[in-house]
Structure 1
Amino acid sequence: MKKIFLGLMAIPVLHFGAMAQTKGYKPLFDGKTTTGWHTYLKTNVTAWKAVDGALQLDPNAEGQGDLVTNDEYENFELKLDWKISETGNSGIIFGVHEDPKFNETYLTGVEMQVLDNKKATDNKKANHLAGSLYDLKAPSADVAKPAGEWNAVVLRKKDGHLTFSLNGTKIVEIQMGGDEWKELLAKSKFKDWADFAKYPKGHIALQDHNHEVAFRNIYIKQL
């Protein structure tokens, strides 16, 4: 039976006041089409659709894969909202180097986790929870909203300095390549991945983790 991602009907593209909050930002999603995006290592998009002002993944559709921006970014501030289904798992991955020798975006890119903290199976480690710098640094506070509710992200990367904010609270801050980064990396699953986080400039990806997920109000400002 095909799953139905409830609660996405009649959602405006922008919530009240969002226009003022995104002044100086460029939209990465027009609210109606997948223009500006493609499936990783492909030229088209099939499993992701624009539905009621959100980019939504259908995990039952053909042509699965992470959705990536056509353009690459190095220093930027990204704003978006995400909503995950019950038990769901996804992510926002950046610094992605698109090359056939890397069959997944996470082999090169760094991830801000998107998760149903309550019922997802990947909720056993603090650095796997929603808003974490995945498998590296746990969020300083659990501010994620439950499955089926929208969460607001501000993700900033400037000369390798990362800050993650979720629902108005800064929850991760770290300098890529710094002492803390090196210590955390040495304890992570990525410690022997030669190309992980090696590309300062890359694509931004929305992860297909075989769960229903949606993203809206996607804006970027280059720094």
Structure 2
Amino acid sequence: MKKHYSKLFPTLASALILACSAPEKQNDGWQELFNGEDLTGWKAVAGTAEFSVEDGVIVGTAVAGSPNTFLISEESYGDFVLELELKVEHETSNSGIMARGQFDPEARDGNGLVYGYQIEADPTDRGWSAGVYDEARRGWLYPLELNPEAKTAFKLGEFNQYRIEVIGDEIKTWLNGQEVAYVVDDMDNSGFIGLQVHSISNPEDSGNKTYFRNIRIKTENIEPTPFQKDLFVVNNRLNELTDYEKNQGWRLLFNGENAEGWVGAYKDSFPDFGWSVNEGILTIAESDGGESTNAGDIVTTEEFSAFDFAFEFKLSEGANSGVKYFVTLEEENTGSAIGLEYQILDDERHPDAKMGREGNRTLASLYDLIKAEKQDRFLKPIGEWNKGRIVVHPDNKVEHYLNGIQVLEYVRGSEEFRDLVEISKYKVWENFGEAPQGHILLQDHGNEVSFKNIKIKTLN
């Protein structure tokens, strides 16, 4: 027996030593959501498009007459990092990836409705792939007008690599390694992963295919990946900036608690009536509908030259207001102070929308100078919040945005700009709109209008 053990012992000892000394296999925490063979763990809902597995790839086939169809995971997820590859072969094959998706099986007469955060796959010239869309609910949260450099990232007819981080209330996307979208929103804290085959309007497009492969998710020990580029953040927190925004130079111009940083136009203090701060909202009360005849306009105590200025506003029915910039207060005129104006207006009910020239007094227009070119689908109804944005570049190029969509641009001081001034109400003011710096103004036009999430970044 001893002889037997003596022969065996070195072998066992060697094996034990090797086992102890061998490096432990690292588990990186990724889980495969698709086994490459069948659709185990997935189910198709809301439409009749077909899903199959071919050569380790999920293939979605468009069907005429079907609404949007989704292949959704049977499991729900809260915080996660998701990676997958997606290919579309025809520009009509719009697709997308649901992140924390929701499903109402009783909607649409029992046919079901998928809604929630969707990361876009857009093969058209519009190029909004990896933008964030709120399917069947609020519409676009992050159109790629906010990040035009990313419009060319998607490749038609090729597999595209998506990375989606959904951690806490932050959603970030990458497409083929490029940083694309950053949304902060807390409407859904968990939900399924979904793969979309979009409805088709032309029956001839029936049979077009969308492909998905290498789908994996990580749900534990995840940390946000910091963006390296300077991207605009759609931040739906109330008067609160992300660390990323702060690092990129953004700061709040309204702290949500009081009127610090604002005074009445032509005054040394903030109006003691009319304007109020309540539960993080800055509101001008309804009065007589006149221009700066009640509490009056308010202006920033600071002046700005080149800047990126974002704000949210909510109109009451029939209301009129505005955000003015490059306000110098040197004119000392009666009524509202003079400056370039981002018009805020109920276009349907206020008569000012039909005055001026060719619609240049409508919502988001450069008041009395340039009409905002906007589509109804990107407008929020009266009583809901809309997002405004004014960007003044160091070279005097100016852009107006409404709900993430650029609606006009111009160059301060250009010949075209001065020609427009000469046929406007502003022609009486010398060098109108060309001051090197000025205040930002919120207008009291005698109607109830509210503001929140007012933030600015100076540009060099």
- Residue in 2 aligned with 1:112? 342
Structure 2 residue 414 is the aligned partner of structure 1 residue 178 = yes
Residues 31-180 of structure 1: pairs in structure 2 closer than 5 A: 31-44=256-269, 45-46=271-272, 47-60=274-287, 64-99=295-330, 101-107=332-338, 109-125=339-355, 126-142=359-375, 143-158=378-393, 159-180=395-416
Using structure 1 for the length normalisation, give the TM-score. 0.85
Residues 3-14 of structure 1: pairs in structure 2 closer than 5 A: none
Larger RCO: 1 or 2 (CA < 8 Å, sep 6+):
1
Check whether the contact 1:96–1:105 (CA below 8 A) recurs between aligned residues. no
Structure 2 residue 236 is the aligned partner of structure 1 residue 19 = no
**Distance of 1:205 and 1:97 partners within structure 2:** 10
RMSD: 2.2
When structure 1 is superposed on structure 2, of 205-214 and 172-181 the one drifting more is 172-181
Shift of 1:151: 0.7
**Distance of 1:88 and 1:102 partners within structure 2:** 23
- Residue in 2 aligned with 1:197? 433
Check whether the contact 1:22–1:219 (CA below 8 A) recurs between aligned residues. no
Check whether the contact 1:84–1:116 (CA below 8 A) recurs between aligned residues. yes
**Distance of 1:178 and 1:196 partners within structure 2:** 12
Shift of 1:15: 2.0
Check whether the contact 2:421–2:432 (CA below 8 A) recurs between aligned residues. no
The code of the aligned residue for 2:252 comes to P
The aligned length equals: 209
**Distance of 2:237 and 2:301 partners within structure 1:** 29
Shift of 1:185: 1.6
Deviations 1:88-128, CA, capped at 9 Å, x for gaps: 00000011112473344543x10000011111121114111
Cα 1:98–1:204 change in 2 (3 A) is same
Shift of 1:48: 1.0
Check whether the contact 1:41–1:99 (CA below 8 A) recurs between aligned residues. no
- SS across alignment from 2:353: coil
Check whether the contact 2:360–2:371 (CA below 8 A) recurs between aligned residues. yes
Check whether the contact 1:81–1:217 (CA below 8 A) recurs between aligned residues. yes
Aligned-residue identity in percent: 34
Check whether the contact 1:90–1:115 (CA below 8 A) recurs between aligned residues. yes
Unaligned runs of 5+ in 2: 1-234
Deviations 1:113-145, CA, capped at 9 Å, x for gaps: 001111112111411111000000001214432
Shift of 1:29: 0.5
Shift of 1:16: 4.6
When structure 1 is superposed on structure 2, of 73-82 and 156-165 the one drifting more is 156-165
Structure with more helix by fraction: 2
- SS across alignment from 1:190: helix
